[in-house]
Amino acid sequence: MEPTGQDRTELSVSELSGQIKHLIERAFTRVRIRAEVGRVARPGSGHIYLDLKDDRAVLAAVCWKGQATRLSILPEEGMEVTVIGRLTTFPGQSRYQLVVEDLRVAGVGALMAMLEQRKVQLAAEGLFAPDRKQPIPYLPEVIGVVTSPTGAVIRDILTTLQRRFPRRVLVWPVAVQGDSCAAQVANGITRLNGLAPESELPRPDLIIVARGGGSIEDLWGFNEEIVVRAAAASDIPLISAVGHETDTTLIDYVADWRAPTPTAAAELAVPRRDELLATLAAFEARRLHIMADRIVGRRQRLRDLGRALPRPQDIVARQAQQLDHLIVRLPNALTGRISGARARLGTGAGGLRPATMTRHISLCRDRLGPFGIRLAMARDSRLRRATDRLCALVRLHDTLGYQATLQRGYAIVRDSAGVVQPSAGRARAAPGLEIEFHDGRLAVRAVGAGKSGRVGPHGAGQGELF
């Protein structure tokens, strides 16, 4: 650029805008500012456009999609933030803007205010309602733990479970602080719920989300909306064990149970094995004692009832006496019955004398005589009718039979198999023929054939010989 003189170089608008862009980007390569978030726009491209302002000025800012996914918090209107980025220009509108590289809430007070606002919003949706809570299984077979795979938290949980009641543990490793914490924790809860019972990894019966203590900034990932909604959507009962007893995050409100520490979460997850065995032993002793008392009581009750019953010999004594009387009366009763039967037999035998039977037979024959005559007459009448009908059928057969037709000069031609041949063509094809007349049959053989194949008026076809 020529600062002075009349031969100053002429620049186009694009060239001037490019030089201004170069100067600003070189002078403000990295800036850190504190401001209040104004208008925020999130188009479908994934970029974030926002205004940063104070009481006297407004600065346009943009966070590109790749960087927006790595932000620890998403900007909201009215939030006081600290932003790190670099200045650049937008030549298309002749304005400058800040390209955001990092964005954090400015101060604990602002974080708490935003946390309270988010808590009220999620509570209004019913995510913290008590009726959404699920009961914790008494003795889960598999426990899923969403936490860092290294550190004291997972060691404390495993040690406590081993001491109280050993269970299968499925650890889902996640970052428990930083920009990627919220996304990884939410993904871990969702993926554990998505495990099928027959999959290679066993589906947990209980999920523990755990982290050690820290500042509000360190625990902020567990206040993110994505984590809260993932915990609310979990079909598996979930215990929140984030921070120490005095630390509270939003996942604590939506979890089915909140434990003050990770160790306490492991203690809530399973009972103590020695206490359970002692309880079972006490129940067994109580059961045996109750059974013994009931047996003693029933035995005494049986003795009391036995005293009110008569003696067995007294019960059967009367029946035994009756049996003795019946045994004494039995021979006389049998003798009397035999004598009565013999007398009745003698009385009945008197009617079986030959003369009496002869008179009875003669009487029956006299009664049956008229019936025999009528039966013979009916039989002769039916026989005559059947004979007349048979003679009529024979005459009809003789009239309609083919033998009467043969008497009038006709004949029947059959082949060697006895099949009737109704035409000359079929007769010529037969190897042998038989002609039936009214007075017998004659075997013939075809030895020639004429052109027409028809029989002439004199009885033989021209050119045919039999």
Residue-wise pLDDT for 311-357, tens only, equals: 777 778 888 888 888 888 888 888 888 988 888 887 777 666 777 77
Residues 262 and 279 in one domain: no
DSSP code for 34: E
The CATH number of whichever domain residue 44 belongs to comes to 2.40.50.140
Answer whether residue 353 is part of any domain. no
Q: What is the pLDDT of residue 446?
A: 64
Please count the structural domains in the chain. 4
Q: In terms of Cα–Cα distance, which of 125, 50, 35 is closest to 82?
A: 35
According to DSSP, the residues that pair with 61 across neighbouring strands are: 50, 98
Residues 195 and 210 in one domain: yes
Burial of 157 (0-12, 13-18, 19+ CB in 10 A): buried
- Return the SS3 of 304: helix
Q: What share of the chain is helix, strand, coil (3-state, %, to 5)?
A: 50, 20, 30
Residues 101 and 163 in one domain: no
Answer whether residue 341 is part of any domain. no
- Return the SS3 of 76: coil
CA dist 110 and 117 (Å) reads: 11
Q: What is the pLDDT of residue 228?
A: 95
Answer whether residue 25 is part of any domain. yes
Q: What is the pLDDT of residue 448?
A: 54
Domain around 285: 272-308
Residues 49 and 149 in one domain: no
Q: What is the pLDDT of residue 8?
A: 63
Residues 224 and 280 in one domain: no
Residues 147 and 248 in one domain: yes
Q: Name residue 460's amino acid.
A: A
State the number of CA atoms in the 13 A half-sphere of 242 facing the CB. Answer: 30
Residues 282 and 237 in one domain: no
CA dist 419 and 403 (Å) reads: 17
Answer whether residue 165 is part of any domain. yes
Sheet with 412-415, strands from edge to edge, namely: 412-415, 433-437, 440-444
Residues 266 and 283 in one domain: no
Q: What is the pLDDT of residue 62?
A: 92
CA dist 206 and 168 (Å) reads: 11
Last residue of a domain, one of 308, 329, 359: 308
Answer whether residue 387 is part of any domain. no
Q: What is the pLDDT of residue 312?
A: 79
Query: What number of other Cβ atoms are within 10 A of residue 274's Cβ?
Result: 11
* pTM summary value: 0.49
Residue with tokens 């020639």: 448
Q: What is the pLDDT of residue 460?
A: 39
Residues 152 and 221 in one domain: yes
Answer whether residue 386 is part of any domain. no
Q: What is the pLDDT of residue 142?
A: 95
The CATH number of whichever domain residue 231 belongs to comes to 3.40.50.261
Answer whether residue 389 is part of any domain. no
Q: What is the pLDDT of residue 447?
A: 61
Answer whether residue 328 is part of any domain. no
Q: What is the pLDDT of residue 255?
A: 95
Residues 164 and 291 in one domain: no
CA dist 173 and 211 (Å) reads: 12
Last residue of a domain, one of 259, 290, 308: 308
Q: In this predicted model, what pLDDT tens digit does every residue of 216-251 receive, in sequence order?
A: 778 888 999 999 999 999 999 999 999 888 888 999
Residue ranges of the chain with pLDDT lower than 50?
Answer: 1-2, 5-6, 449-466
Residues 257 and 173 in one domain: yes
Residues 245 and 122 in one domain: yes
